[in-house]
């Protein structure tokens, strides 16, 4: 029996490993993202695609953003079927961060939201609406029906796209109204020919707490901006905030929630405690007994305790804190009816006192066509 014990202790030592993927970051997300996708861990590919897509949107590289998001969404839509890493991460003996990243629900929603904007820019309102509806499904509990989606803009834009296609979007508008806690969206203007998607602030960041870092929490983002004003030669429009991504990250159906990988944490604690009890009890029994048979029984109990502690040590309940870290905090939306021809739009991001944050003011020159929509995407981080 004693000859077996050294073999068990070897299990605790593990094997020293050298990371296979080491990335040197430049601070340019388009460079870093391309490098990470080509040379980094494959499980982080979608994370970098998300980050690159948001950056491309803000740089006006809409074709590149489309390609990146299309690839990410193909992965996202199939990830929980054959993906071996995701299946492994659901076991007790694999870390959450080892699974292929697809993000928390609010992150997945934003991937569809951005793609919906890009479809709207291309005049593909049916596809844009399909993206917003996919976001609604991600944000709701389709299995247990415990809560429904509570993004204002997902429902509002669903109905608006339907209205623009000469359909009846009133049901979607009615769903958007009661969940609008910050600002109430205006009635649909079917004559509007300029559509403006807005975002501002810094989105939530994940961190882990708990004895085993098993509790996934969120730090709120920061934003000096609370509203936006659009000014043209013809009219001024002030826009409120409709969706807050920190709220979406920390709630489901409006209810505050804790992200806790409880089963793994309980399993780890239970097996560790059982191991301690068996190890101490078995060794004590073997030490105080002069009977050979009793000593062997004690050593057997101790051996079982060591095995239990090895199992506990192999359990990895740590929460996955990889974050789509360049998301905005707030989402806004506006429509305008402008005469065909050239126009200049001044976008002012307003602070809590309703004063423009001068460093964020944008000037957009555009030509409104005689027919069709002009679609603008404006971020406080637009380059």
By DSSP bridging, strand 341-350 and strand 330-336 are: unpaired
* pLDDT bracket for residue 24 (50, 70, 90): confident
Confidence band for 90, pLDDT divided at 50, 70 and 90: very low
94-117 pLDDT tens trace: 344 568 899 989 999 999 999 999
Higher pLDDT, 284 or 252: 252
Cβ atoms of 102 and 75 closer than 8 Å = yes
Q: How confident is the model at residue 142 (pLDDT cuts 50, 70, 90)?
A: low
Summarize pLDDT for 210-235 with one digit per residue, the tens. Answer: 877 778 888 888 889 989 999 997 78
Cα Rg of the chain, angstroms: 27
Report which of residues 363 and 281 the model is more confident about: 363
Please compute the mean of the pLDDT values over residues 356-380 and round it to a whole number: 94
DSSP reduced 3-state for 77: helix
- Token pair belonging to 342: 């050239």
Q: What is the DSSP string of 176-237?
A: HHHH--S-PPPPP-TT--EEEEEEES---EEEEESTTS-EEEEE----S--EEEEE-SS-EE
Question: What does the DSSP 8-state code read for residue 98?
Answer: G
| CA nearest to 209, candidates 267, 263, 259 | 259
374-379 vs 194-200, strand pairing mode = parallel
The one-character DSSP state at 74 is H
Domain range annotation of the chain: 263-314
Confidence of residue 304 (pLDDT cuts 50, 70, 90): low
pLDDT of residue 61 exceeding 70, the answer is yes
How far is residue 87 CA from its own chain's centroid?
19
Residue pLDDT, tens place only, 180-206? 999 999 999 989 999 999 999 999 999
**Segment 242-246 mean pLDDT:** 95
Structure letter (DSSP) for residue 358: G
Segment holding 259, helix H or strand E = strand 259-260
Q: What is the pLDDT of residue 260?
A: 47
Taking residues 158-178, report their average pLDDT.
95
Both tokens of 51, joined, read 């980050």
Q: In the chain, what is the straight-line distance between the N-terminal and C-terminal CA atoms, in Å? A: 70
In whole angstroms, how far apart are CA 253 and each of 51, 149, 246, 374?
A: 26, 6, 13, 33
Specify the pLDDT at position 1. Answer: 46
pLDDT digits (tens, 9 = 90+) for 170-179: 999 999 999 9
Per-residue pLDDT, averaged over 22-44, amounts to: 90
Q: What is the arithmetic mean of pLDDT over 310-321?
A: 60
DSSP code, position 119: H
Question: Taking Cα atoms as reference points, which of 332, 333, 327, 338 lies closest to residue 366?
Answer: 338
Q: Is 35 exposed, middle or buried (0-12, 13-18, 19+ CB in 10 A)?
A: middle
- Residue 85 pLDDT grade (very low, low, confident, very high; cuts 50, 70, 90): very low
Mean pLDDT of 232-261: 76
> 270-300 burial by CB neighbour count: b if 16+ within 10 A, else e?
ebbebbeebbeebeebbeeeeeeeebebbbb
At residue 216, the pLDDT reads: 83
Mean pLDDT of 5-33: 65
**Residue 45 and residue 36: Cα distance in Å, rounded?**
7
């Amino acid at each position: 029996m004693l000859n077996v014990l050294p073999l068990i202790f070897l299990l605790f030592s593990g094997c020293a490993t050298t990371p296979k993927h080491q990335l040197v970051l430049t601070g340019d997300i388009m460079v870093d993202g391309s490098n990470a996708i080509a040379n980094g861990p494959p499980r982080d590919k979608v994370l970098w695609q998300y980050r690159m897509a948001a950056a491309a949107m803000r740089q006006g590289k809409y074709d590149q953003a489309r390609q990146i998001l299309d690839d990410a969404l193909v992965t996202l839509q199939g990830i929980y079927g054959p993906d071996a890493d995701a299946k492994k991460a659901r076991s007790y003996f694999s870390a959450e961060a080892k699974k292929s990243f697809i993000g928390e629900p609010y992150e997945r929603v934003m991937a569809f939201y951005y793609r919906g904007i890009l479809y709207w820019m291309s005049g593909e309102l049916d596809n844009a609406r399909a993206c917003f509806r996919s976001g609604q499904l991600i944000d709701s509990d389709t299995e247990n029906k415990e809560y429904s989606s509570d993004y204002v803009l997902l429902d509002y834009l669903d109905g608006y796209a339907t209205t623009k296609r000469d359909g009846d979007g009133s049901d979607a508008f009615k769903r958007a109204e009661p969940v609008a806690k910050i600002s109430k969206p205006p009635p649909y203007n079917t004559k509007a020919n300029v559509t403006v998607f807005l975002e501002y602030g810094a989105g939530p960041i994940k961190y882990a707490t708990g004895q085993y870092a098993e509790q996934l929490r969120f730090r709120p983002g920061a934003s000096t901006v609370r509203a936006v004003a659009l000014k043209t030669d013809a009219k001024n429009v002030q826009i409120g905030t409709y969706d807050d991504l920190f709220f979406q990250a920390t709630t489901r159906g409006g209810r505050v929630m804790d992200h806790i990988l409880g089963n793994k944490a309980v399993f780890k604690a239970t097996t560790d405690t059982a191991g301690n009890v068996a190890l101490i009890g078995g060794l004590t029994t073997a030490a105080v007994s002069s009977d050979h048979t009793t000593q062997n029984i004690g050593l057997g109990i101790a051996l079982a305790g060591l095995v239990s502690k090895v199992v506990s040590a192999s359990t990895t309940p740590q929460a996955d804190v990889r974050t789509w870290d360049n998301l905005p905090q707030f989402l806004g939306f506006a429509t305008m009816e402008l005469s065909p021809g050239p126009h200049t739009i001044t976008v002012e991001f307003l602070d809590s006192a309703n004063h423009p944050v001068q460093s964020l003011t944008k000037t957009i020159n555009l030509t409104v066509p005689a027919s069709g929509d002009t679609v603008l995407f404006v971020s406080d981080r637009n380059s």
